[in-house]
Amino acid sequence: MGEKIRFVQDNESFSSNVGTVRGLHFQVGSHAQGKLVRVTSGKLLDVCVDIRISSPTFAKYIVMELDAQTGRQLWVPPGFAHGFCTLEPNTIISYKVTDFYNAEHDRSLRWDDPEINISWPIEADPATLSNKDAAAETLEELRAKGDLFG
């Protein structure tokens, strides 16, 4: 049998505006998190970027639309950065994580990093970026600091 997944914390994020971008977030080291993501209200485009340097899919990403009506969920394993863009107003995303939030291990990858070149579905609204997301680093900067997965 596979490894048992244990969730330790539930998180929720509310975005009132269409085009709100959050992420791309991850935690490093002993506080790396897996996330089980779902939308409880509204609709969004969920994005996961492989940040495992030794992976054949390093710097590649997947996207999935999540909405409250279908109830689909997305598993984001450790070693992936996670973010989203809201497609409807008043969107609520809920996610369970496998490790507690730890500020020292928390990192952000730029949502618009040209090396990754994510094809966002609508014009993202930079005015809705949090301070954390506005200050996020590029993949190259994170790699140089050793803040990616092996």
Number of domains in the chain: 1
58-67, 94-103, 117-126, 140-149: lowest mean pLDDT where? 117-126
Q: How many CB atoms lie within 10 A of CB 104?
A: 8
**Residue 68 included in any domain:** yes
**Residue 24 included in any domain:** yes
**Residue 112 included in any domain:** yes
pTM attached to this predicted model: 0.92
**Residue 50 included in any domain:** yes
**Residue 136 included in any domain:** yes
Kindly give, in sequence order, each residue whose CB lies less than 8 Å from that of residue 130, ignoring residues fewer than 6 positions away: 22
Catalytic residue (choose from 25, 31, 61, 82): 25
Q: Residue 139: enclosing H or E segment and its boundaries?
A: helix 139-145
What is the spatial distance between Cα 150 and Cα 51, in angstroms, rounded to a whole number?
9
**Residue 104 included in any domain:** yes
Catalytic residue (choose from 31, 61, 82, 95): 95
Chain segment 111-148, per-residue pLDDT in tens: 999 999 998 887 777 778 889 999 999 999 999 999 99
Phi, psi dihedral angles at 24 (to 5 degrees): -100, 120
Query: Is 95 in the active site?
Result: yes
- Domain that includes residue 100, residue range: 9-144
What is the spatial distance between Cα 129 and Cα 86, in angstroms, rounded to a whole number?
12
What is the spatial distance between Cα 105 and Cα 18, in angstroms, rounded to a whole number?
30
What is the spatial distance between Cα 21 and Cα 130, in angstroms, rounded to a whole number?
9
**Residue 1 included in any domain:** no
**CATH at residue 42:** 2.60.120.10
Chain segment 7-45, per-residue pLDDT in tens: 899 999 999 999 999 989 999 999 999 999 999 999 999
